[in-house]
Amino acid sequence: LYNQSCEEDLHLQSGPSFCCTLDNVPLISKCGTLPPESCFFSLICSTGSFMVVVIVLLRYAHVIEKHQNCVLNTASLSTGWICAAGLMMVGNFQVDNAKVLHYVGAGISFPSSMLFVCLQSALTYRLAKTQGEYYVAHLRLCMTLLAFVGLVLSGVFFCQESFVLQHASAIFEWVFCIIIMLFYGTFAFEFAGMSGDTMAVLARGGSLGPAGRELKLETLVGMGGQPHPHQPETMSI
């Protein structure tokens, strides 16, 4: 057990740092406070923040190409980018050096990431047409529920002074983050069918009103190999 890893009891320890105290609970933030771990922690969080921005943008463009823009899609884009900003703060302001900014970043990234997966789960169900797409939607819903439970329990236990509950909080925090990363991995199902036309829809204003929706139809027809120089306005969605 973690307590048994200490070479001597807490009341016999002396020095600037102590083993098996609340300050030594293996929370994610605590694992990246001292160099060289802090360097890798900042690098991983910064890289992860950039990847979140890219993945969220690709998903946003993919939804526009496949269906049309909607409130859920726009909200997911905004929420994902807010999560990326919070993750950047978490990684570059270590908890032992800038506690307030670190907790502000955590307070942004954790709830926004939870909201993002909720929105994406709802969006997946809304766009699902085939049996395989419904399987992906069911998978994301299960992961969303598990992530929600992990986040709630981590937050509740984190506020307690109990040494055991603090460790439980750390465990659920790790579980939550792993589930969120696996959730992002499920976008591989959609991204496998993406092409240059996906980003072209976004770059050419695919999310803007009737004109953007007409462009979406032109793109879908173009993917079928049939030229379509003009789309009648009556066919716009």
pLDDT tens, position by position, 149-207: 999 999 999 888 777 888 899 999 999 999 999 999 999 998 887 777 777 777 765 54
Q: Could you please report the per-residue DSSP string of 131-155? A: HHHHHHHHHHHHHHHHHHHHHHHHH
- The pTM of this model reads 0.77
Per-residue model confidence (pLDDT) at position 162 = 79
Per-residue model confidence (pLDDT) at position 18 = 55
User: What is the span of the domain harbouring residue 203?
Assistant: 27-218
Question: Quick check: is 87 in a domain?
Answer: yes
Question: Quick check: is 94 in a domain?
Answer: yes
Per-residue model confidence (pLDDT) at position 177 = 96
- Given a cut of 50, the residues of the chain with pLDDT beneath it are 1-2, 207-212, 215-216, 219-220, 222-223, 225-237
Number of domains in the chain: 1
Question: Quick check: is 141 in a domain?
Answer: yes
Question: Quick check: is 227 in a domain?
Answer: no
Per-residue model confidence (pLDDT) at position 230 = 43
Per-residue model confidence (pLDDT) at position 34 = 80
Question: Quick check: is 197 in a domain?
Answer: yes
Per-residue model confidence (pLDDT) at position 7 = 53
Per-residue model confidence (pLDDT) at position 151 = 97
